[in-house]
Structure 1
Amino acid sequence: MEENNTLERGLTGSSLPKETKKPSFFERAKKHVKKHSLVYLFLVPILGHFIFFYVGPIVFSFVITFMDYPIVGKPEFIALDNWKRFFNDPNAWKSVWNTIMFSVLYILPTMALGLLFATLIHSLKRRWATLFKGVFFLPVVTSFVVISGIWAWMFRGNAEGFVNQFLALFGIQEQLFLSSSSQALMVLAGLSIYKVVGNTMIYYYAGLQGIPDDVYEAAKIDGSGRFKTFFKITMPLLMPIHLYVAITTTIGSFQIFDSAFLLTKGGPNYATNTIVYYMYQQGFTAYDFGYASVLAYVLFFFIFAVSMIQKRYLGKQVDYN
């Protein structure tokens, strides 16, 4: 009987462990912050810088897309008028088209030449490879203003231009180049390719260095020729480099500003008026910051869309085995 009473008391809960209350999210967060207070103390300046100089301007620029925001005077809320203005602005669409055409002229040649130079250097001995890496990389570290000045002299649209003097040797008439609506954008693309291709070469060279030698040795044993090895082995194994270079060159092409500003001022006849240069004109010449912010977000949407497409087709995993 006494044993039954003891068993009953045990079952009724006198000896059962009590359920512990699970701490709430805020209690756990408070405990975590208290435990790592020194870490968060050091993060405060970094987070403050990030919020003040990155998050803040992004939010502010988006807000003023719905406002008439003059540099002097009281801002006025105008709802979607700035966005409607963009869709009805022929100069804005002209700048978008110029930017797309510049990207077409710039991206593929930059990638192709970078890969070509990297492949040539990769096949050379160490001493010569170091020399040519320096030669090809020199324009990257040279001031863009200096290179633009040289380019302006070379492509001067009269008999004094170096390129026109060279063409005259073959009986070809003088070209207008930077003064021509059909040629100016190609000249700017050539300038940007010359400036950036050394940087692209370094990325591809690093990628080539990362491919194991036994992969090529196995291909050689299987009877694979040089061109077949390049297109069937090297190109697929460089896919991560292709993706990175494609995205960075695309972003750079859509942000083209300096060459248009230094050489053509968007002309002739809006032929080189890119979206970033048009944004600059609206924001810092017309002081229409609301509309300039709309152009900035249009640029962001274009870059984001193209980058996602590139990631979809080039973002494949690479297996060296």
Structure 2
Amino acid sequence: MEYHYKKNLSLKDRLKRNKDSYSNFNKPKQPFKERVKKQWDRNAIVYIFLVPTLIHFLIFQVFPFAFSFVLTFMDWKVIGDPEFVGFKHWIAFINDKLAWRAIWNTILFSIYYIVPTMALGLILALIINSGVKAAGLFKGIFFLPVVTSFVIIAGIWGWLFRGTESGMVNYLLSFLGIDTQLFLADSGQALMVLAGLSIFKVAGSTMIYYFAGLQSVDRQLYEAARIDGATPLRIFWTITFPLLKPIHFYVAIITTIGSFQIFDSTFLLTGGGPNYSTTTIVFYLYQQGFAGLNLSYGAVLSYVLFFIILVISLIQRKYLGQETNYY
């Protein structure tokens, strides 16, 4: 209908329409200032509300990040003026055996911590999602350590794993006829005990992430699998576990970052000992930068920590963050 209407237009009308279209096409753009002003008038209130957040980001994120990088090339111990020393502190880090020991301890802690935390969180989420009675009560009990002060939990953990017979775990071991263990006073056990503390503290939050993921899985997939005769274990490995891949990726990232930032338990229970076996990179940074007032070397350690976390996150993104399609 539209085609015949245009076809029946007079030659004069068609020429006029083409002229108008051509003039609109070649209409000059608004000057840059006018476009900016128009955009500002349209979104002024949004920009105004963003200003406080932007100021906070610049002051507490961008400025410290840039200042600490500059500080790595300076010699400044709070008192006195900073002095430029080039790569002195970076070279000192390369030759610092204790710093490398702290990095290795942190990696060991991550090995003890990441997979058990994810596994325990998933198991707790499966228990709650299974339709067990009083699921809300169990959810609150499992989540309680997350909202409890770390100081309180560390105090309880220190009492449980005290390296004498007065410790609760040693009391149970002696009751079973097993020799008393030193736990926090043993360089081979202390780091694992601290990892257990962190797992107990954080597993409740990973449970919430996995529970949210389980709630989003389509129930029809389970029903179809049951009709086909699939066992619960097969359903878990072929449906539940693969569909939780985005949750696995997110939890792996946050637990990895958290494992490399471990400080509280070391500070409260071991002080980095025995024999530096629990001295992690963040605790060593604290000792150098704050306790020792060597802020420049502390800045170097902070950037080392930043680069380690960045590399691990990129590796995890490459192997865990790939998009997966299910048909």
Structure 1 and Structure 2 fold alike (TM over 0.5):
yes
Partner of 2:305: 299
Q: Partners in 1 of 2:177 and 2:154 — Cα distance?
A: 27
**2:252 counterpart (246, 251, 271):** 246
Conserved 8 A contact 1:103-1:254: yes
**1:173 counterpart (175, 179, 185):** 179
- Give runs of aligned pairs for residues 10-49 of structure 1, distance below 5 A: 21-23=28-30, 25=32, 28-49=35-56
Partner of 1:268: 274
Q: Give 3-state SS (helix, strand or coil) of 1:70's partner.
A: coil
- What do you get for the CA RMSD once the two structures are aligned? 1.8
What is the identity percentage for the equivalent residue pairs of Structure 1 and Structure 2? 58
Conserved 8 A contact 1:240-1:318: no
CA shift for structure 1 position 42: 2.8
- CA deviations 1:57-111 (Å, max 9, x no partner) are 1111111011111111010011111111111100100000000000000000000
Matched, 1:156 2:162: yes
CA shift for structure 1 position 36: 3.2
Equivalent position amino acid for 1:84 in 2 = I
Partner of 1:285: 291
Q: Give 3-state SS (helix, strand or coil) of 2:72's partner.
A: helix
Matched, 1:233 2:239: yes
Partner of 2:19: none
Gaps of 5+ in 1: 1-15
Equivalent position amino acid for 2:238 in 1 = K
Equivalent position amino acid for 1:256 in 2 = I
Partner of 1:141: 147
**2:108 counterpart (97, 101, 106):** 101
Matched, 1:91 2:98: yes
**1:206 counterpart (212, 216, 220):** 212
Partner of 2:77: 70
Q: Partners in 1 of 2:254 and 2:216 — Cα distance?
A: 20
CA gap 1:318/1:17 in 2 versus in 1, 3 angstroms: closer
CA shift for structure 1 position 43: 2.3
CA gap 1:152/1:221 in 2 versus in 1, 3 angstroms: same
Q: Give 3-state SS (helix, strand or coil) of 1:36's partner.
A: helix
CA shift for structure 1 position 320: 6.2
Q: Partners in 1 of 2:273 and 2:32 — Cα distance?
A: 59
Q: Partners in 2 of 1:287 and 1:135 — Cα distance?
A: 42
Which stretch of the first structure deviates more once superposed, 251-260 or 196-205?
A: 196-205
What is the TM-score when the length of structure 2 is the normalising length? 0.88
Gaps of 5+ in 2: 1-21
CA gap 1:24/1:255 in 2 versus in 1, 3 angstroms: farther
Partner of 1:6: none
Equivalent pairs, count: 305
CA gap 1:294/1:27 in 2 versus in 1, 3 angstroms: farther
What is the TM-score when the length of structure 1 is the normalising length? 0.90
Which stretch of the first structure deviates more once superposed, 195-204 or 95-104?
A: 195-204
Conserved 8 A contact 1:240-1:316: no
